[in-house]
Every structure is written in structure tokens, then in C-alpha cells.
Structure 1
Amino acid sequence: MLLIAKILVTFLTVVLLAKVAERMSPRHAGLLAGFPLGTAIALYFFGWQQSPQFAADSAVFTLSGLTSAICLAFGYWQVIKRKPGLLWLPLATLSGFACFFSASVILQQLPANRWLSLAVVVAAIFLFRTLFKDIAEQQIDRSQPPANKLAELLSGKAATLLFRASIATASILLITGLADLLGPTRAGLLAAFPVSFFPLMLILHISYGAGVLNATIKHYPDGIGALVVYALAVSYLYPLLGLHWGTAASLLCSVAYLLVYSRLKK
């Protein structure tokens, strides 16, 4: 029952992100990637499997671990800005993973202090916004035919959704399955893995090229803010409100952040 719930919840959230992102510019797709879909699922199932307190303790490290998520995008970008061809996609993926896990190893040395974790991720957001600021904007051109066989294979909506859902579901099953073995510190850092954004990165690279993906990565740090708000809220609200109400209240906090942020950006 728990396994089926994980698969269904993850699949539905990936479908939602895919449907909305396909109709958005790279800038807005990058912002949407920050909505706490994967992180919310991971922390929710931490609370279900272990306890709400375990999930709240993990959320403190998820907060700083969001730095690792941006590092993954940075590592991927470092390869494709030099070698944009699909031949280099495996190397870009390895580079992204190496950056994610290297950052996580460093971050696990931090004490369990939510305000220190908050300071770390806020500093990372400003740092990477600076590093990404010169990336050129590029819109998705849907009028062009598939540029390669992989893009042709993924051109159908069903194939694309299955690809995204498979990666995201496998990630959630792995993260939540290891939670009890890893403890709240490492489990929390692993919960920061960009479950929704990573498959989206692959799809954009394969289907539309490195330029569109670069433009989406450029705006990823802006979208991380909603994840920061969510993880911080979970660390406070799960012990107070319990698993279900704590999740609902934390999601509302993220939605409020995104609404305020979008108004300020106009």
C-alpha cells in the first residue's frame, strides 16, 4: 500500500509539472521547478514511515541541502555550456551528480540549526544567481521537428510523461527507502535532490537543446525560494500540527511565497 501510494503521488506531481512547464517560458519553468513537489513527497513519506519529528529533523538538513540541488544544476551546466551536444549528456549528468553529492558531504558536517541552514542556502541562491546571470535567454521553439532520434522518441506526451515519472518515482523510492538507514541528517540532505527538476533538465536537453536548458537553469535559484520556505515550515509545523495538517500548512506557505515573489517580479 505504501509503495503504491509513493508511485501514484510522485506520478501525479510529475504530470502536473510537465503539463504546466510545457506551456511556460524557460524562466517560468525554472521558477516552477522550485515548487516543493519532490521535497514535499520525500518529507511526507519520512513522516509516514518514521515519524513527523523525524521528518522535521530531516527538514533542517533539507534546508541547507537545497544548496546541493543548485550545485547539481551548476555541474550539469558546466559541461553543456562547453559541450552542448547530446553526446555529452552522460558526462553532464555525472558532473551534476558529483556536485550534488560533494556538496552534501560538506553540508552534513553542519550542526542541526535551522537558522544556520537558512543562511547557507540563502547565500547559495545569491551566489548562483550571480554565476548564472550572463546566461542568454532562449525560448522553446515548438515549430521545429525533433532534432534527433531521442527527441523523436520523447516527442509523444505519453512517452515524455512516462520518462519523467519513472525517474522521479525511482528517486522517491530510493530516497524514502534509505531514510531509516541514513538517519535524519543524510536523509534530509538526500530529500533535497531535485526529483522534479532533474528529469525536466534531461527532457529539455534532449528535446530542445542546451540553450533552452541553460536558460531554465539560469532561473532555477529563483524558484528554490519556495522550497526553502517549505523546508523551514516543515521543521516547525510537523511537530505542532502533525503530518497531514503540517504538510498542508507548509504547502500554503510555499504558495504564498510564490504569489508574493511573482508580484514583486512584475
Structure 2
Amino acid sequence: MNLLLLKLTLIPTIVALVTLAIRKWGGKIGGLIGSMPWVAGAILLFFILEQGKAFGIQSIQGSMTGIMALITFCLSYAIFARKFTWLPTLLIAYVLYTLTAVVFDYLRLNLMLSYVLVLSYVVLTLYLFPSPTAPPADGRRLPFDIPIRMGVATLFVLIITGLAHVLGPNWSGILTPFPILTSVLAIFSHTLQGSNAAIVTLRGLVMGLLGFTTFLYLQAHWLPEFSVATSFGMAVVINAFINVVVGKIW
């Protein structure tokens, strides 16, 4: 199948299904589902198909930096969502995301240390995360909101994968967990249901990053030994298992 056609069909389908999952099961479960490697895993797959397996493996170190920045995005959006509307909240969260990415990229930590730091940061963030002051409000739905979400997420993926050969594996990896789906979910939850809904959804996403980070970490070790399908398949099962456990603990 043509890769462009795959991008134009796979990514919007993922966004639509995650959106429907949130509507059916609520922010926490929806956030856990949304944190699975649907978009970032697809981006890694496109890196491998377009730039080669070595490029994809090298990008994983950068992805750890990107996850650190993503956690900062989620925490900062949740904190400022109570004070501001979605646009200033999003801009503040993007600024803090960028600062985190730049700092950790400068430190150039090895993969194992980065993995441990990300897991520690997730746990710390869950303890610092603001609690909703009330149950999320029953939200109105904008006309064509699912197609809008699908279009925004697909555009981001096309840009990131299209620039991969220019950015190189490190910055391509950093941008792999860029809050594409996260931003879409946060904005729509915040706008349609209020800050409490955004907080619940983002907390669920952060919870799911324990499994998602493990998924990417395992790719660095398994992709050299196994086919892409086998490596991704085994890691997705482990990712899902971790999400189930985390969902019961928190």
C-alpha cells in the first residue's frame, strides 16, 4: 500500500476510535487507551518504512526526551486549564514542553537512564497532578468535531514524517511523542466539558505513559532481533498489560 495513503487512512481512524472510546468509557479509561502507541507507534513505523530500521532505532533515544516533554505538557495544561481558556493554556503548555525537550536534549542521557527518569517523572507527576474539583460536565458536541480531530492529527503526522530526513533521527524521535492526539483531546475536553474533563483525560494519558515508554524502550532492544511486526506486537501486549495494572493501582 502507498505510504501516503496509509497515513491518510490509519491516523484519522485511530483518532476517531480513541475519541469514541473516551465518550463511551470516560476520561480516565479513554486517556489510558489514548496513551497507547497508536500515533507515536505509527510514526515510528513510518520512520522505519521510509528511512530504514536503523533510523527508527536511533530515534528512540530522542523519543525518551520527547516523553519527558510530553509529561510536562500534560501537567502544565492541567494546572493552567483552571485559570485560562484553551488557547492560552495550550500555548503555555507548548512553551514548557519545548523548554523541557531542549534541556533534556542538551543533557544527552543514555537510553537506560532516560527510561528510568521517564518512569520516575511519571510517578512524580501523578502525585503532583491536580485533582478535579467536580465530575466532568456533560459536554456539548461541536458539529463535525471528530473529522476536525482526525484532520489535525493527520496533518501533524504528515509534517513530522515528511521532515524526518531533514531533522535526523534524534529530533525526529523527540517529536515522535509530540502531543498531537494529546492536544486534540485536551482542547476538546476543555472546551466542551470544562477544565475538570481535561484534567481527568490528561491524568489518564500520563498514567498510560508507563506502558508507552516501555513499548518504545523495548523497540530499541527487539527491533534489531525481530521483525517489525513481531517486535511491535509483543511490546503492544506488554504496554496493554501495564496499562491495566496502572489503571487498577491509580
**Same-fold call, TM cutoff 0.5:** yes
* 1:195 equivalenced with 2:180 (yes/no): yes
Shift of 1:112: 5.7
Give the Cα–Cα distance (whole angstroms) in 1 for the partners of residues 54 and 224 of structure 2: 6
Shift of 1:3: 1.4
Give CA deviations for 1:200-243 in whole Å, capped at 9, x if unaligned: 11111121112211222233321111211111111112221133
Do the aligned partners of 1:39 and 1:227 also contact (CA within 8 Å) in 2? no
Seen in structure 2, the aligned counterparts of structure 1 residues 11 and 134 have a Cα distance that, compared at 3 Å, is closer
SS of residue paired to 1:219:
helix
- Counterpart residue number, 2:27: 26
Aligned runs of 1:222-237 on 2, under 5 Å? 222-237=207-222
- Number of corresponding residues: 249
Give CA deviations for 1:128-171 in whole Å, capped at 9, x if unaligned: 112215443523425xxx3xxxx5xx1x4xx1211111111011
Matched AA of 2:234: A
- Counterpart residue number, 2:105: 108
SS of residue paired to 1:36:
coil
Give the Cα–Cα distance (whole angstroms) in 1 for the partners of residues 176 and 88 of structure 2: 23
Give the Cα–Cα distance (whole angstroms) in 1 for the partners of residues 43 and 212 of structure 2: 12
Give the Cα–Cα distance (whole angstroms) in 2 for the partners of residues 256 and 214 of structure 1: 24
- Counterpart residue number, 1:117: 114
- Counterpart residue number, 1:253: 238
Q: 1:90 aligns with which of 62, 87, 105?
A: 87
Do the aligned partners of 1:80 and 1:92 also contact (CA within 8 Å) in 2? yes
Where structure 1 has 5 or more consecutive residues not aligned to the other structure, the ranges are: none
The 4+ residue runs of structure 1 with deviation greater than 4 A are none
Matched AA of 1:94: L
Give the Cα–Cα distance (whole angstroms) in 1 for the partners of residues 149 and 179 of structure 2: 12
Give the Cα–Cα distance (whole angstroms) in 2 for the partners of residues 47 and 136 of structure 1: 44
Higher mean displacement: 72-81 or 166-175: 72-81
Q: 1:210 aligns with which of 192, 195, 199?
A: 195
With normalisation by structure 1, the TM-score equals 0.86
* 1:240 equivalenced with 2:225 (yes/no): yes
- Counterpart residue number, 2:13: 12
With normalisation by structure 2, the TM-score equals 0.91
Aligned runs of 1:20-169 on 2, under 5 Å? 20-83=21-84, 88-111=85-108, 113-136=110-133, 138-141=135-138, 146=140, 151=141, 154=142, 156=143, 159-169=144-154
Give the Cα–Cα distance (whole angstroms) in 1 for the partners of residues 39 and 126 of structure 2: 22
Matched AA of 1:234: Q
Where structure 2 has 5 or more consecutive residues not aligned to the other structure, the ranges are: none
Matched AA of 2:102: V
Give CA deviations for 1:64-121 in whole Å, capped at 9, x if unaligned: 32111111122323332222xxxx3221111121111111111212336221111221
Percent of paired sites with the same residue? 21
Give the Cα–Cα distance (whole angstroms) in 2 for the partners of residues 97 and 133 of structure 1: 19
- Counterpart residue number, 2:249: 265
SS of residue paired to 1:109:
helix
Give CA deviations for 1:148-200 in whole Å, capped at 9, x if unaligned: xxx5xx1x4xx121111111101111111121111111111100113222211
Shift of 1:7: 1.4
Give the Cα–Cα distance (whole angstroms) in 2 for the partners of residues 233 and 140 of structure 1: 39
Name the Cα RMSD after superposition: 2.0
